[in-house]
Chain A
Amino acid sequence: MTATTKPTGTKPGSPTLTDRYVYAALKHVPAQQRDDLEPELRASIADATDARVTNGEAVDAAEVAVLQDLGDPEALAATYADRPLHLIGPRFFLDYKRILILLLSIVVPIVTVVIGVTSTLGGASLGSAILEALMVGGQLIVHLFFWITLAAVVLERVAKPSDKLETEWTVGDLPEVVTNRISIGETLWSLVWIAIAASVIVWQQVQPFDLTRSGQPVPVLNPDLWTWAWPLILVLLATEAALVIRRHLAGIWTTASAALNAGLNAAYVIVLMALLTTGTLLNPAFVTQLENVTDPLGSALSIAAIASFVVLVAAILDTVEGWRKARRGHRAAP
């Protein structure tokens, strides 16, 4: 075993492959470990090279083979330093995922709606309010993703091996089994809202309230539209009631009922948008009254816009909910 650590063919003074390997590995090891680790690593590499040379290999080839076997120096350094080679490990991944889903599902919808409503109140048109709300919502999603992920990645690296984020899982944490059967409560809830909507539309025409305290009660919705839009909305509401009852009798949401639900929601939104864009949603007499008591500019328009925004969001949420229930019902169907 007389082979030197410096293989032949290398200019004296220039770093050998071993030098480069040791340099690459130690770069990623905490400084206080280096002084002890470097001679050991060098000795191990030299010993392995010598053994190969004794078996008849050329010095250069032996060194290459030994370093190749040791593998990526950064991976070796990570094993030495007990550093994880993953962004987020099993210890924190589930907590990370739950927190992310929780925040995304609560904060994003709330902020999106609040931004939409406030910018409509600020006098923005419905289109630009929706656009702004969606843009802010999108930015928020990116930010939540980035910062929560960053926090988890840092935590993975600074936490002691025994540290845990959440208390131990117990049987008490088990979720309820979600049944896909439609409850009577869900059906009644839907029917009550349909009845309220229909009543308000008819009632504000037959028995108008004096909303502006002007002494002259007038309908809020445009009476001229009784030629088509209001009867159409009432027909849509009646259709929806029929669908709710049909779903209840069927017992579960199906893809067909989710599709019908989506179509119905789209119809509401289309009618409303048509009225809004032509500026015919509200009763002109009511708008005049409103302008007498409040800031004449835009107040009527913003009432209409807020109402439309709320309807739009409700329609989207209801449609998504329908598909979700249909998918769940499909999966759990016996």
Chain B
Amino acid sequence: MLDPDLLATHRQELRRGTTVLACLVVLTTPDYGYALLDRLASMGVHTEANTLYPLLRRLESQGLLTSDWDTQDARPRKFYRTSEAGTELAQQLYADWATLYASLTKIQGDPRS
């Protein structure tokens, strides 16, 4: 039986970079922090609030996301949207992801290839 801690550690390692990719893809439709967390979770991308919120700000400061305050509602919310640079990065990362997936699938089918 696999040690649960070991499994959790490696899963976290594997997922680390995919949260960024998921945010960039999902935020082509603008959204605010908590709603994004919810949407990601319903898509099977589980991430902690205290990881996601700072990540959004970092991506914004890197120019990969843009943001707008929506003050229409009683509760003002900061909406994030993927920028042009963000879209470009998402495409690159997705291509890498696809290549990796294809390679792994191929090896899975024939381990000696």
Residues of A within 8 A of B (CB): 36-37, 39-41, 43-44, 46-48, 51, 69-71, 75-76, 79-80, 82
Contact = CB atoms under 8 A, between A and B. Distances in A.
Contact of B49 (A40, A70, A80): A70
Contact of B76 (A37, A39, A82): A39
A48 B38 CA distance: 10
B54 A79 contact: yes
Interface in B26-76: 32-35, 38, 48-51, 53-54, 57-58, 69, 75-76
Given A48-B34, A51-B34, A43 B77 contact: yes
Interface in B75-107: 75-78
Given A69-B48, A69-B49, A69-B50, A47 B78 contact: no
B33 A40 contact: yes
B103 to A, nearest CB: 30
A44 B76 CA distance: 10
A280 B38 CA distance: 90
A43 B76 contact: yes
A46 B49 CA distance: 13
Given A51-B34, A82-B58, A44 B50 contact: no
A311 B102 CA distance: 72
Contact of B34 (A39, A47, A75): A47
Contacts of B35: 47
Nearest to B38: A51
B50 A71 contact: yes
Contacts of A48: 34, 49
- Could you say which interface size class chain B belongs to? 10 to 19
Given A69-B48, A82-B58, A43 B53 contact: no
Given A39-B76, A69-B48, A47 B33 contact: yes
B50 A43 contact: no
A53 to B, nearest CB: 13
Most-contacted residue by chain A among B32, B69, B75 (CB, 10 A): B75
Contacts of B38: 51
Contact of A43 (B33, B54, B58): B33
A76 B34 contact: no
6 shortest interchain CB distances as A-B pairs: A47-B34, A79-B54, A44-B33, A40-B78, A80-B54, A70-B50
26 contacts: A36-B78, A37-B57, A39-B69, A39-B76, A40-B77, A40-B78, A43-B32, A43-B33, A43-B34, A43-B75, A43-B76, A44-B32, A44-B33, A44-B34, A44-B53, A47-B32, A47-B35, A47-B75, A51-B38, A69-B48, A69-B49, A69-B50, A70-B49, A76-B50, A79-B51, A80-B57
A57 to B, nearest CB: 16
B48 to A, nearest CB: 7
A76 B75 CA distance: 22
Nearest to A75: B50
B53 A41 contact: yes
Contact of B78 (A43, A71, A75): A43
B22 to A, nearest CB: 18
Contacts of A80: 53-54, 57
B5 to A, nearest CB: 19
A54 to B, nearest CB: 12
Nearest to B77: A43
A44 B37 CA distance: 10
Contacts of B48: 69
B72 to A, nearest CB: 13
A75 B69 CA distance: 26
Contacts of B51: 79
B33 A79 contact: no
A70 B48 CA distance: 8
